[in-house]
C-alpha cells in the first residue's frame, strides 16, 4: 500500500474479529462436549477419550489435549491483546466512558461495556482453567472433573467462567454481525431487534445447558466425594444410560 497508512490496521481489525469468532465457536462446541455428562458418565468418558485421540491411535494421548489448550490460550492472548487496544487507555478515558454511559443509557453501548468487564475477568478465569487443562490433561473425565469441581471447590471458578464467557460470546457474535453485515432492506430496525432477540436466546440456551452440566458435575462430585481421586472406569455407573 502506498501512502502513510499501512495495511496493518485493517488486518488487525479482521484478526480481532476472526479470533473472537473462532473462540466463540470453540466455546460453544466445548459446551456441547462438556454437557455430555448429562447423558451419563460413560458418554462424557468417551468424549474425553476421543479428544485424547484413542479412536485414532488405539490408546489415549492426553498431550493432545494440552496441545489444544495451548492453541486456545494463544488465541485468547491474541484476542485479548487486540481487544485491549479498544479499552479505555487512561483514567480520563475511563471517566468519560462511564459518564457517557451513565447519561446515555444506550443498550448497545452498555453491552459493549459488559464485554469489556467480562473480557477482563475472562483473562484470569480462562488462564486458571487452561492452566489445569494444559498441565493436567489426563485429569479430565467424569470423576476427575467432578472431584475437581466439588472436592477442590473449582465450581466457583467454573460458575463465574460460565456466566462471563457466555455473556462475552453471545454479545460478541451480535456485535460481529452488526460490525460486518448490519441489516439492510426495508426495515433494518426490526431486523436488528430480531438479531438481538436471537442473541438473548443463544445466551439463555448456553447458560441453561452450562448450569445443568455444572450442577450435574457438582452432584456427581458430591456423591463421589468420599472416593475423590479415584478415576472412572467405563461401565461402572448408575447415572449413565448403558451403551455398547
Partner 1 sequence: MNTIPVSEAPRSLLIRILRHNPCDPDSAPHFESFELEEAEAMTLFIALNEIRQTLDPSLQFDFVCRAGICGSCGMIINGRPGLACRTLTRDLPQCITLAPLPGFELIGDLSVNTGKWMRGMAERLETWVHAQHLERVDIDQLEQRMEPELAEKLYELERCIECGCCIAACGTAQMHEDFVGAVGLNQVTRFHLDPRDERSDAEFYQLVGDETGVFGCMTLLGCEDYCPKDLPLATQIAFLRRRMVATAR
Nearer to partner 1, 185 or 229 (CB): 185
Among 2, 59, 156, 244, binds partner 1 (CB under 8 A): 2
C-alpha cell at 178: 452488526
Query: Which residue stretch of 43-51, 57-65, 134-142, 182-190 sits at the interface with partner 1 (rule: CB under 8 A)?
Result: 182-190
Query: Which residue stretch of 5-13, 66-74, 137-145, 226-234 sits at the interface with partner 1 (rule: CB under 8 A)?
Result: 5-13
With b for 16 or more beta-carbon neighbours within 10 A and e for fewer, the 144-177 pattern comes to bbbbbbbbeebbebbbbbbbbbbbbbbbbbbbbe
The crossing angle, in degrees rounded to 10, of helices 188-223 and 155-180 is 160
Report whether 37 contacts 224 (CB < 8 A). Answer: no
Window 71 to 110, contacts with partner 1 (CB under 8 A): 85-86, 88-89, 93, 96-97, 99-101, 103-106, 108-109
Q: What distance in Å separates the CA atoms of residue 162 and residue 211, rounded to the nearest whole number? A: 8
- Alpha carbon 111 to its chain centroid, in Å, reads 17
First CA to last CA distance, the chain: 60
Q: What distance in Å separates the CA atoms of residue 71 and residue 82, rounded to the nearest whole number? A: 17
Work out how close the CB of 187 gets to partner 1 at its nearest, in angstroms, rounded to a whole number.
12
Among 184, 229, 242, 244, binds partner 1 (CB under 8 A): 184
The crossing angle, in degrees rounded to 10, of helices 155-180 and 142-150 is 100
Residue 182 touches partner 1, criterion: CB under 8 A: yes
Among 28, 33, 61, 112, binds partner 1 (CB under 8 A): 112
Window 14 to 53, contacts with partner 1 (CB under 8 A): 14
Residue 181 touches partner 1, criterion: CB under 8 A: yes
Among 32, 124, 131, 180, binds partner 1 (CB under 8 A): 180
Residue 1 touches partner 1, criterion: CB under 8 A: yes
Checking phi first, is residue 40 left (phi over 0); if not, alpha (psi -120 to 50) or beta?
A: left
Work out how close the CB of 183 gets to partner 1 at its nearest, in angstroms, rounded to a whole number.
8
Binding site for partner 1 (CB under 8 A): 1-5, 7, 9-14, 85-86, 88-89, 93, 96-97, 99-101, 103-106, 108-109, 112, 175, 178-184, 188
Amino acid at each position: 500500500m502506498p501512502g502513510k497508512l499501512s495495511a496493518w490496521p485493517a488486518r488487525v481489525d479482521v484478526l480481532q474479529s476472526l479470533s473472537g469468532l473462532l473462540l466463540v465457536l470453540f466455546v460453544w462446541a466445548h459446551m456441547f462436549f462438556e454437557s455430555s455428562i448429562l447423558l451419563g458418565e460413560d458418554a462424557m468418558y468417551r468424549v474425553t477419550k476421543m479428544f485424547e485421540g484413542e479412536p485414532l491411535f488405539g490408546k489415549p494421548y492426553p498431550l493432545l489435549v494440552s496441545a489444544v489448550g495451548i492453541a486456545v490460550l494463544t488465541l485468547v492472548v491474541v484476542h485479548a491483546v487486540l481487544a485491549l487496544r479498544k479499552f479505555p487507555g487512561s483514567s480520563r478515558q475511563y471517566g468519560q466512558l462511564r459518564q457517557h454511559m451513565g447519561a446515555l443509557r444506550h443498550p448497545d453501548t452498555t453491552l459493549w461495556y459488559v464485554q469489556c468487564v467480562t473480557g477482563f475477568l475472562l483473562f484470569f478465569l480462562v488462564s486458571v482453567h487452561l492452566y489445569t487443562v494444559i498441565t493436567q490433561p489426563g485429569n479430565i473425565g467424569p470423576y476427575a472433573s467432578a472431584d475437581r469441581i466439588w472436592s477442590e471447590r473449582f465450581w466457583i471458578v467454573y460458575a463465574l467462567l460460565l456466566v462471563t464467557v457466555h455473556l462475552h460470546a453471545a454479545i460478541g457474535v451480535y456485535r460481529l454481525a452488526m460490525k460486518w453485515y448490519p441489516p439492510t432492506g426495508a426495515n433494518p430496525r426490526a431486523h436488528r431487534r430480531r438479531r438481538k432477540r436471537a442473541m438473548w436466546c443463544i445466551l439463555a440456551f448456553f447458560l441453561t445447558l452450562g448450569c445443568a452440566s455444572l450442577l450435574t458435575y457438582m452432584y456427581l462430585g458430591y456423591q463421589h466425594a468420599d472416593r475423590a481421586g479415584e478415576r472412572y472406569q467405563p461401565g461402572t455407573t448408575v447415572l449413565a444410560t448403558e451403551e455398547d
